[in-house]
Structures are given as structure tokens and as C-alpha cells.
Homo-oligomer: A and B are copies of this chain.
Amino acid sequence: MTTVGRACPFASRRGLLAATAGLAGAIVSRSTRADIAPAPEQIPFHGAHQAGILTPQQSHVYFAAFDVTTPHRDALIALLRGWTEAAERLTTGKTAAPLGADLSQPGADSGEVLGLGAARLTLTFGFGPGMFERNGADRFGLAAFRPAALVDLPRFNGDQLVPERSGGDLAVQACADDPQVAFHAVRQLARLAYGTAQLRWVQAGFLPRTPAGETPRNLMGFKDGTNNPAGDDAAATVWAGAEAPSWLQGGSYLVARRIRIALEHWDRTEVDFQEQTMGRRKYSGAPLGANHEFDPLPLSGTDADGNPVIAENAHVRLGAAASTDGARILRRGYAYDDGVSITAERWPPWRQGLEYDAGLFFLAYQRDPRTGFIRIFETMAKLDALNQFTTHTGSALFACPRGVKAGEFIGEALFATG
């Protein structure tokens, strides 16, 4: 009786020929399918800027932060080169590397996206502070090129950050219209990193299938992103200019925050209170004191008693440019849902039980976090009425290099100067 042995050491080589025939069959059926199915949507990987920043949001994200484990600059460069080559293929719907016909080796790709197309996959890379310096050590000869704006994020009021969900030397934001495509991409990049870098934390997220032209609703039931910059305004918000080191000009800074929301508490809260917390109507999205979603915020409007119609600590007021000396960020967040977990409260009524570990995986791009997220959130973290429902449990900041041309690897200009 023949049985399959334990993996690898005793793997039989039987059936290689037939397996190869099977591979050829798969290739034939794929090209046949291409004739009948609409072309998969592809977002160009190459360009002056990285894709996945101004790209209209795909329905799913799989985000991964890595720790670099190699002490060798060359190995780090080889990783970035390998990631770039893989990203060039993956974003066109190909496997991370050609599968080849030799089935007696592990596959060059795990294969679960064969036939799925690109699904608008984008892969966006970022460098954390640890690339430049860790515990005072200049690990890769890059310390002199650390951008001044790539600060260590301050501790914000109310932060309950979990180290295992924060930080990281390298970041990959994989966005696609298919969750399997997004996860697959990170999985292939993580395989290429074996021995050089390892996963530190990951976070999956999703957006609802909102009809075109409408603003998606977040898990609090409110439209989210109404005032997000668009067009030229978005470009001016995100792309670093001459103030940045040359390798980062045309790049951006990404702030990632994992924000748990007390949905059970929120759901027990009066709708008008929710609206005053936000400063907007729940169902229409209109600012309080206005009629339509895209009306300007009537920040100086008052009611008959002289009270502001948008409260002093309403979320939209504290986030508005008028309250932050013009600070702007481009939000690109996703809902996240990590199931339920035990929560035990240490105050009356000492509630204890399962609560959703769900909320917002906040991703925001900006040309300088000091005058972007940090400026906005330092005030918001102290005053925002929404804080009674939200807890920031993860946090990271990355500098995202400009885009690559064919033949370059991501961040090459940083290493060329170093």
C-alpha cells in the first residue's frame, strides 16, 4: 500500500510527468477563459508615484508590517528588488514568479489566485523609522537619510497601543477587490522575505459595496470620507515636495491606526447624540445646521440660544482645516472585523463579556505627518466626543518612497544616496 509520507523529507516524485501535463492543461484553460471573460482590471504599478495612495479605494485591504531581521544592507536591497519584481507581476494578475514545470520543488507561488485576475491589486511600500535607526544603531548605513518628518509618533491621549500591533521596519499595503488576491500578494512577499524580514503584524479590512458616487458608511452607520480631499487637492495633500529628502520627493507618509470601536455601546446610544458627537446627520450625512452632505460645515452657526450647532467637541469640527491651521490628510481607511474578544471593565457596572473587536483600520497619507495627522490628532485625542467610543490599539508611521520606473526597485534612490 502506498501512502503519502510526511512533508518534504519523504516526498515521492511519482507522477511528475502527469502533473506537468496538468499544468499545461491549466495554462490552456486560462488562455481560453481570457477570450470569454472581461479583461481583469489592472492598476499600473510603475509611475512617478506609488499606486494605492490616490488610487480609488478597492473593496479590501491586507496590510502587513515587517521587521527586518538581516543585518546586511545587501540582503535588504535584494529583498526590495525581489519585492519589486514580484509586485510588477502580481499587480497584472500574474503569479509572483513563473510557476515553471518542475513540480518537485515548492511552487514559486502558492497558486490560490490562478484565474482571478488582478482585481485592481495595488501594492504600496513604506519604510519605518527602524530602517534608519534602531536602538541608536545605524543598521543599514541609512541614518543620515532619515527624513525629519519620519518622527517617532508621540504618545497621544488615550492611546492603548499593543506593541505587537504597532510599528515595523517595512510596510506593505495590499488593496484589491478580492480579499484572496490581497492576502495572496502579502503571502508571496512574506515568502520572499524568509531569512531577511518577518511579519510583525497584519490587518485585514473591507469597505461596503457602496453605489458609485456615494460615500461609504463606516461601522458606526455614518458616511465616512465626505470631506476627504480629491483631485489636485488630494495630490497636494499627499505628495512630499522639495522639503523632503530627494529620495522621498513624490512619495508620501502613511499613518496607520487600528481603532477599536465600542459598537455595542454605540448601538445603545440615541441617534441625535450620535449626530452631535459626529457633527453630522446620520442618514443624510449633512452637517448639523446644513441640508446636504457636501454643504460646508457651518462651524460658526449658532442656534436660537446662541449655542454652536456643531458642538465644540464634535468630531467634524476638530478634524476641520479651520480647527487645525489647515492640516490636511487623505484618509484611506477600511472597516476591520476581527471577531469578538473578552472585555472586562473595571468600573461600574463592571460589565464583562464578549465584545466585537471591530472598528476602523485608519490609513492616512500626507506630505508631512507633523503638519498632518499629528497636528490634527493631538487635539482630537484630547477633546473629540467620539473618543468615548474609540480605542486606538495599534499605530505605525511609514515613509513611502516615490514610484518606480521599470528596472528600478522600490526605494532605490534611498540606497543610491546612502
Contact = CB atoms under 8 A, between A and B. Distances in A.
A273 interface: yes
Contact of A270 (B103, B119, B198): B103
A27 B29 CA distance: 47
Contact of A2 (B1, B22, B308, B358): B308
Interface string A172-203: 00000111110100010001000000111111
B217 A113 contact: yes
Interface residues of A, number: 111
Contact of A277 (B4, B23, B289): B4
A133 B385 CA distance: 46
Nearest to A224: B112
A106 B200 contact: no
A141 interface: no
Interface stretch (A9-17, A373-381, A401-409): A9-17
Given A221-B112, A338-B338, A269 B11 contact: yes
B208 A283 contact: no
Max count, chain B CB within 10 A of own CB: residue among A18, A209, A268: A209
Interface of A: 1-8, 11-16, 18-19, 21-23, 25-27, 29, 33, 37, 62, 99, 103-107, 110-116, 119, 177-181, 183, 187, 191, 198-204, 206-211, 214, 217-222, 263, 265-277, 281-284, 286, 288-289, 291-292, 303, 307-309, 311-314, 335, 337-340, 353-354, 356, 358, 385, 388-389
